[in-house]
């Protein structure tokens, strides 16, 4: 039985969605975030040294990193589903978006989230807080926001070519990309095309079933 080590309201939700799409039985082990730091509990480090979610175990295998988990599950249980045929242009798009989601799209969004929390940190002396706030505002305006805007424009442009990130059908690339698109939606920065895309994927029965097994899914925002 596959066990998904699932951190509440996190990237891990995508793995539950994929397993529902594949119809593979799984068990969810749910971990709650520390209410102050929002970090994962130490118990996750017993499963994988970094202690970040998602992690799955499948028999004697332990697999971390969403992209690696998605590739493993589709290769092992997909029977050709959710991946374009080898050697096609769609397969290349699939590979690109599968790696891009965590490799390029998420870093500026995570950076913005972390920077936004620094000025509010209780351990920061009160006289530093205005400086920290100014620093955050400066970095956000000159660097992070333009980067995030360029990423969102790239996603939007891709969806003018086809309804999904790697062609006419839903693939693992959409499952990876759902999280950056949802994170941008939670920050209110989506285009109408991306909003319509989210509505389409959210309406899938497998997505809805995964929400039931994963529990409340409210993303952190800056």
Q: Which residues make up the interface to ligand GSH (CB under 6 A)?
A: 7, 10-11, 39-40, 52-54, 65-66, 102
Q: How many CB atoms lie within 10 A of CB 196?
A: 12
Of 53 and 178, CB closest to ligand GSH: 53
Nearer to ligand GSH, 47 or 194 (CB): 47
For 33, other C-beta atoms within 10 Å of its C-beta total 16
Beta strand 61-64 with 26-31: parallel, antiparallel or unpaired?
unpaired
**Choice between 83 and 98, CB closer to ligand GSH:** 98
From the CB of 70, what's the least distance to ligand GSH, in Å? 9
Tokens of 147: 């980067």
How many angstroms separate the Cα of 136 from the Cα of each of 143, 181, 187, 222? 10, 23, 17, 11
Least gap, CB of 101 to ligand GSH (angstroms): 8
Query: Measured from the CB of residue 51, what is the shortest distance to ligand GSH in angstroms?
Result: 6
Closer CB to ligand GSH, 54 or 108, in the complex: 54
Q: Under 8 Å CB-to-CB from 42, ≥6 apart: which residues?
A: 51
Tell me the closest approach of the beta carbon of residue 61 to ligand GSH, in angstroms. Answer: 16
SS3 (DSSP) at 28 = strand
Q: Which is nearer to ligand GSH, 39 or 157 (CB)?
A: 39
The closest alpha carbon to 75, from 103, 53, 50, 94, belongs to 94
CB 40 to ligand GSH: min, Å: 4
- For the chain, the straight-line distance linking the first and the last C-alpha, in angstroms and rounded, comes to 37
Q: How far is the C-alpha of 138 from the C-alpha of 136, rounded, in Å?
A: 5
In the complex, what is the shortest distance from the CB of residue 135 to ligand GSH, in angstroms, rounded to a whole number?
23
- The token pair that represents 141 in the structure block: 């305006």
- Name which of 63 and 201 has its Cβ closer to ligand GSH: 63
């Amino acid at each position: 039985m596959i066990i998904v080590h699932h951190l509440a309201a996190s990237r891990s939700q995508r793995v539950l969605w994929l397993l529902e799409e594949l119809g593979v039985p799984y068990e969810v082990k749910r971990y709650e975030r520390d209410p102050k730091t929002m970090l994962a509990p130490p118990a996750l480090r017993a499963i994988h040294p970094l202690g970040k979610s998602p992690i799955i175990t499948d028999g004697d295998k332990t697999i971390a990193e969403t992209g690696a988990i998605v590739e493993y599950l589709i290769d092992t249980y997909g029977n050709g589903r959710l991946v374009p045929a080898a050697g096609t242009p769609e397969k290349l798009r699939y590979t690109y978006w599968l790696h891009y989601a965590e490799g390029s799209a998420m870093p500026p969004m995570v950076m913005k989230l972390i920077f936004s929390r620094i000025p509010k940190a209780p351990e920061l002396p009160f006289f530093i807080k205005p400086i920290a706030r100014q620093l955050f505002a400066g970095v956000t305006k000159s660097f992070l926001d333009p980067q995030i805007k360029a990423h969102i424009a790239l996603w939007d442009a891709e969806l003018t070519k086809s309804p999904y990130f790697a062609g006419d059908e839903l693939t693992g690339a959409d499952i990876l990309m759902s999280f950056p698109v949802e994170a941008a939606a939670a920050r209110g920065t989506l285009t109408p095309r991306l909003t319509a895309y989210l509505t389409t994927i959210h309406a899938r029965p497998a997505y809805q079933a995964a929400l039931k097994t994963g529990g409340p899914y409210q993303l952190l925002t800056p």
